[in-house]
Amino acid sequence: MTDTTEEQTRSQLGHGLRIATAIVAVAIVFGLGLSNLLRHLDSYEPAFTQWAALAMLGVPLAGEILLLVRRRSWGRTRRAAVALVLAASALSYATQPDDRTATGVDWIFGAANWVGLVVLLDRPLRIAGAFLAAHEFLALLHLLLLDGPSRGALARFATGSVTVIGFPLCVAVSAAALHGLSAAAAASQQEAERVRVAEAVAAASHRRRRQRLAELSTSTIPLLEGLADGSLRPEDAAVQRRCAIEAARMRRLFAETDAVADPLMHELRHCADVADRKGVVVELEARGQCPPLPVAVRRDLTEAVLTVLATAVSHARVTVVAGPELVSVSVVADSGEVELPGPATPGVLVEALHNDDIVWVEVRWQPSREPTGGPVARHSLRPL
pLDDT for 59 equals 94
**Whole-number pLDDT of residue 147:** 55
What was the pLDDT predicted at 381?
Answer: 46
Write out pLDDT tens, residues 211-249. Answer: 777 777 777 888 888 888 888 888 887 888 888 888 888
Residues of the chain with pLDDT under 50: 1-2, 371-372, 381-384
What are the DSSP E strand ranges found in the chain?
281-287, 315-322, 327-333, 348-355, 358-365, 377-380
Q: What is the pLDDT of residue 9?
A: 60
Per-residue pLDDT at 359: 92
Q: Report how many helices (DSSP H) and strands (DSSP E) the chain contains, helices first.
A: 10, 6
Q: Please choose, from the candidates 113, 51, 126, the residue with its C-alpha nearest in 3D space to the C-alpha of residue 82.
A: 113
User: Which residues does 67 contact at the CB level (< 8 Å), separation at least 6?
Assistant: 73, 74
Q: Is residue 331 within 8 Å of residue 316, measured between CB atoms?
A: yes
What CATH homologous superfamily does 233-380 map to?
Answer: Histidine kinase-like ATPase, C-terminal domain (3.30.565.10)
pTM tops 0.75: no
Burial per residue of 263-273, b for 16 or more beta-carbon CB atoms within 10 angstroms, e otherwise:
bbbbbbbbbbe
Residue 86: its pLDDT value, please? 93
What's the confidence (pLDDT) of residue 318? 93
The structural domains of the chain, with segments of one domain joined by +, span 3-192, 233-380
